[in-house]
Amino acid sequence: MKAVILAGDKGTRGKPYTEYFPKAMTPINGKPMIDYIVKYLKSFSFVDEVIVISDFNGLGGQIKNYYGNQKNITFAQDSQNGTGVDLLHIANKLKNESEFVLWFVDNLCAIDLEKMKEIFKEKKSLACIATRTKRKEETGFATVENGIIKKFKEKPIMKLQLSECLGVYMLGKDIIKKIKSKQKQNKINLSFDILQKLSKEGKISAFDIGEKEWIDAESPMVLERNEKIVKKIIKQMGF
């Protein structure tokens, strides 16, 4: 199975840092964030190649320089026209795959891809998305009765009314066909243009990560502010 890492985001939320290095190269304990994801993906026996998509003509070139000619890691130029077009650029690499992993680089989580694959197969879905129904809040909450605070809850774990979609997907080969049918569009967004319709047809499954921590690593500041959680995730990844 191939694993595709999308690392072409311009990182606008991470400025001014991302004016000097891509979000993927954000350091964690002296190593770039993408390296933890690459090694984690390769830790699964069924992942035989990692494909990194980024703007290698720009700051993304730092990623390519970091890996050099490392075995089982290949690179593809970001299309700048949406996730769907990015996947069309590597369609030849995916043509013999019954399914593949798509991982947005700013998602830091030790997702059990083995179990996710089982859900994907069991539900006979065209796509499976990692989700969560619980979230640890970064602010304090209170129980209020008649305008009086009765109890404080500092940074509680909240149950979400809706499942939150995370940036890790398992996609079937038919997804590429669906994208190709939209080729006349200048830009193709995987979620809005492809998965939205498939969800109404009951062809998208969800893999709930349960109690596992997840971070949207949008900037070095977020990682620094959540240092304890980051360390826990890295440990869960096996590093």
Q: Which residues on neighbouring strands pair with residue 131, listed in sequence order?
A: 165, 208
List domains and CATH numbers for the chain. Answer: 2-133+162-236 (3.90.550.10)
Question: Of 102, 104, 100, 112, nearest to 40 (Cα)?
Answer: 112
The predicted pLDDT at position 140 comes to 85
Residues 6+ apart with CB under 8 A from 2: 47, 48, 49, 50, 51, 93, 94, 97, 100, 101
Residue-wise pLDDT tens digits, 47-73: 999 999 999 988 999 999 999 888 899
Question: Is the pTM value of this prediction over 0.85?
Answer: yes
**Mean pLDDT of the residues in the chain:** 91
Residue-wise pLDDT tens digits, 180-212: 999 888 899 999 999 999 999 999 999 999 989
